[in-house]
Amino acid sequence: MTRARMPRPHEVAAAQRDPRLLRAVSERQQDDAWRTRGACQSVDPETFFPAPNEPADSAVALCRTCDVQGSCLAWALEVGDCHGVWGGTTPRERRAMLVAWRGQVERDPDAADEPGPPVRDRLLTLVPSRR
């Protein structure tokens, strides 16, 4: 088993702009029954947990067609799950997203419920730009 490395700053910056993360933040805590409507319900769960040397392309492709992709990703980020494919993301992608997610949630736990600047603007403020 290999040890996962911490995401690099440029990976976190890219994750902050990722539309999948933005959707997850906006759909956070909106739908408690998302699991029952997932496209994954009709597929073998092993599809979403490929071996480290196997591609996750089929799982990610299925997730792209799913209506509850944002809620699924929000759940995985909320619990810190870095194994398997959740919300159309691989573990490596989610590790970078998790840094942005935790910064957002710790700073403003009710961000999805409050009016204010768009979620994207709040996420982009988490990592200082390089100049």
CA distances, 14 to each of 52, 79, 100 (Å): 23, 21, 10
Buried b (16+ CB within 10 A) or exposed e, 76-85: bbeeeebebb
The verdict on whether residue 82 carries a ligand-binding annotation is no
69-79 vs 19-27: helix crossing angle, rounded to 10: 80
Q: Are 45 and 84 in contact (CB under 8 A)?
A: no
The amino acid present at 21, given as its one-letter code, is L
Residue 122's alpha-carbon distances to 30, 36, 67, 127, in angstroms, are 19, 31, 25, 10
Helix, strand, or coil here: 89? strand
> Would you say 66 is a known binding-site residue?
yes
Binding-site residues from annotation for [4Fe-4S] cluster: 40, 63, 66, 72
Annotated binding site, which residues?
A: 40, 63, 66, 72
